[in-house]
Chains A and B, each alone.
Chain A
Amino acid sequence: MSGTVLRTVPSTIASTSAGGEASGQPQVILAVVLGLLFALGTFLVLRKDVVRVVWGVTIISQAANVYLVTMGGLRGSVPILSHGGAHGAVTDPLVQALVLTAIVIGFGTTAFALVLTYRVYEEHGTIDLSEVNER
């Protein structure tokens, strides 16, 4: 990994994680964030409330997207080959293309899951999973 820092992400991330001294290493910070996101997602999926479960799933799929970006190796600044020409290393653009695809898919599935939640509520009169499963 080269010493270049990804400029936009760490400033926001550093405030949410403990990463003061690790701010030179975006991947370490991202790893911590990923852990937190997956933990939060798992926690929500295990709730009894259907809406929380759906949010949990959404957070987990977004965490997977962040993971994909991280896996591309944040080596350079922007994923553009020549824009004015004065660039050093570039970040792998492929993972970003993958994430865009995954985000679009995630958008569709989240919308569907929320509508489905509403239908579950209409049919069962509750969004408590233990009550939904009793009938």
Chain B
Amino acid sequence: MSEHVVVAPLVVALVTAILTLGVRRYPRTQRTISLLGIGAYAVAVITLASRVVPLGVLTGGGGTTETLTYQLSNWPAPFGISLVADALSVFMLVLAVLVVVPALVFSVLYIEEFGQRISYHALFHFMLAGVSGSFLTGDIFNLFVWFEVMLMPSYVLVVFYGRAKHTRAALQYTVLNLLGSAVMLVAIGGIYATMGTLNMADLARRLAHAGEYGINPAPVLGLGAILFAVFALKAGIVPFQFWVPAAYRAAPAPIAAVMAGVTKKVGIYAIIRLLFTVFGAATLESELGFGMAGTSFLGLFGPVLFLMAIGSIFLGGLGAVSRNDLDNVLAYSSIGQVGFIVLALALAATGEGTVRTVGLIAALIYSLNHAIAKSLLFLVSGTVYEAVGSIRFDALGGLSTKRPVIAGSFFLGGIALVGIPPLTGFFGKLLVFDTAGKAIVAGEPFAEVALAVALAGAILTIAYFSRAWNRAFWGTPSEPVTRSYQPTTMVVLVGAFALLVVVLGIGFDPVYRAADAAAHAATEWETYVEAVGPEVIE
């Protein structure tokens, strides 16, 4: 029962990438193909999404979500590679579409002609293929491969401008991620040796019935922790955050938007998939004997997630308050914002029942909000650079009087992150607080601390955004700002993207229902296993 629609986003992205390489002598054709390709990608994802999560589910009119699978070359499940599109994968894919479409259109206007012709479009689409593959795959080794497909173009895109600071940032980024990949391979090898399978559904089932399969799940806890560390590196969570600011500053603005908006979320997605689906029913057996017998894996990961979240929120927040240019503030801010996502995940991991579901919904909504708002802000930063020639606060000032649309877009992105109703950020924050509240009622440990951290983080967010706003957009226009020009098309694009943030906030109900379906898809591992249907091997 292979559904070809599952593989469609991947094929579209790969074909577009290759086509843009083929026609690079004809820049106009290349740009046209690239833009058509991203349109086709959006259509493919939306078609897939409408099959998995029917419209009725989004409007509350009834209907059930499905889990579609595609077995490569028709090999049955645990032997071949499975691609799985459930509500969670589809949610992340739609999130990616919302970011990459404006980012690519912006790139066509922003990246200089020569750079576009050489490699930019191909790299962009290869990266997109890697992202889609990571969201769709149902096999951990294949996940490694898609990670690499996603990372390799991103190395090149970080070093895209090729000057001193870019090569330095790219070197750091590349070496770190290569080490991460090696460590991921080690974890995968270990999991294969102890579990005898790499299929996520098969893993989930074997971990759930460890006794029947004669497996000791204890080594998998450690190996899973190694995998988790690699995913945290991709997501830029403290203590793996140090590559983030340099890489985001070196990358071209639309790429920084995609990296902060989408590739970070690949890390978050992988963490959710691993902890909540694969380890969903895994518990430690008694013989380990640290007094942890019968503890679920999730319960053990909870406190770790919690510490990482606190670290990220404070490090990101405090870092962003003291930076002196737009990109730097945004980069540190994205460390802090991912901290909020992880905080919700930590509460979901330690919680049970509704706390777990609400926590996951909060994490997903927050991811969506962060993806859109942060990439909007990076695009605004790119537009400011194009218009003024600098994004340093000491060169900016008074943009709100000279360039009201740019300033307005920044303001919308900013208050979406701060969480002012009716923007999506408000619901994201509200749900994080709601989860913490529910966790306190359920008597979970750390829940009060989580609430306090979330509050402090929210205050930090307000602090660094009002500071950025004061320094760059308010006041009397500075010398470079008065000399600035209006890059009209870019401004229109950024303004339209800003409106999308508002629209998603006002029409929030379908977004919430989609996140709800995704959260259930993440936790209901039985449905996932059943859909993939790995054969039982002795």
Give chain A's interface residues, CB within 8 Å of chain B.
Answer: 45, 50, 53-54, 57, 60-61, 63-65, 67-68, 70-73, 94-95, 98, 101-102, 105, 108-109, 112-113, 116-117, 119-120, 123-124, 132-133, 135
Contact = CB atoms under 8 A, between A and B. Distances in A.
Nearest to A110: B178
Nearest to B194: A71
Nearest to A63: B182
B174 interface: yes
B167 A116 contact: yes
Given A64-B182, A95-B192, A117-B171, 17 more contacts: A53-B175, A57-B179, A68-B185, A68-B192, A70-B189, A98-B141, A98-B189, A105-B181, A108-B152, A112-B174, A113-B174, A116-B155, A116-B167, A120-B168, A123-B168, A132-B168, A135-B164
B170 A116 contact: yes
B168 A72 contact: no
A94 B155 CA distance: 29
Contacts of B145: 101, 105
B408 interface: no
- Nearest first, the 7 closest Cβ-Cβ pairs linking A and B are A71-B193, A71-B189, A64-B185, A68-B189, A64-B182, A61-B182, A123-B164
B185 A65 contact: yes
A61 B189 contact: no
A54 B178 CA distance: 9
Interface string B139-151: 0010011001000
Nearest to B192: A71
Nearest to A119: B167
Nearest to B144: A102
B162 interface: yes
Nearest to B147: A105
B182 A71 contact: no
Contacts of B186: 64, 67
A114 to B, nearest CB: 11
Contacts of B152: 108-109, 112
Contacts of A113: 174-175, 178
Nearest to A41: B182
B189 A109 contact: no
B167 A123 contact: yes
Given A101-B145, A105-B145, A124-B164, A94 B182 contact: no
Contacts of B193: 71-73
B159 A116 contact: yes
B95 interface: no
A112 B171 CA distance: 10
A70 B189 CA distance: 9
A109 B171 contact: no
B162 A119 contact: yes
Nearest to B156: A112
Contacts of B175: 45, 53-54, 57, 113
A101 B181 CA distance: 13
Q: Which of B171, B186, B190 has the most CB of A within 10 A?
A: B171
A60 B148 CA distance: 16
A67 B192 CA distance: 11
B146 to A, nearest CB: 11
Contacts of A63: 182
B155 A61 contact: no
A133 B190 contact: no
A98 B148 CA distance: 14
The residue in B155, B167, B190 that gathers the most chain A C-beta atoms within 10 A of its C-beta is B167
B179 A60 contact: yes
A88 B163 CA distance: 58
A98 B162 CA distance: 34
B145 to A, nearest CB: 6
B192 A94 contact: yes
A108 B192 CA distance: 25
B171 A120 contact: yes
B148 A124 contact: no
